[in-house]
Amino acid sequence: MAAPPKKAFPLRLDPALYAAVERVAAADLRSVNAQFECLLREALAKRGVKVAQSETPKRGRPPKENSDDEG
């Protein structure tokens, strides 16, 4: 089952705020987008808002299939 596509929308930010998020993202080895998601989830959790984690497809190579028919 494929995960639903992510919601895209324009976001206008103060350049200094974006730069700060960019620095934190680099320190956490995340993209700016992933950092925004993390920060938003943390802020919502702090307010007591529960957000379900959507199932995302795993990245990388699929595992090798074991074959019992090897010669």
In a domain, 66, yes or no: no
pTM, whole model, 2 decimals? 0.67
In a domain, 21, yes or no: yes
In a domain, 37, yes or no: yes
In a domain, 19, yes or no: yes
State how many domains the chain has. 1
In a domain, 64, yes or no: no
Residue with tokens 């938003």: 40
Distance (Å, whole) CA 25 – CA 38: 10
Whole domain around residue 32: which residue ranges? Answer: 15-46
In a domain, 32, yes or no: yes
pLDDT digits (tens, 9 = 90+) for 19-56: 999 999 999 999 999 999 999 999 999 999 998 877 77
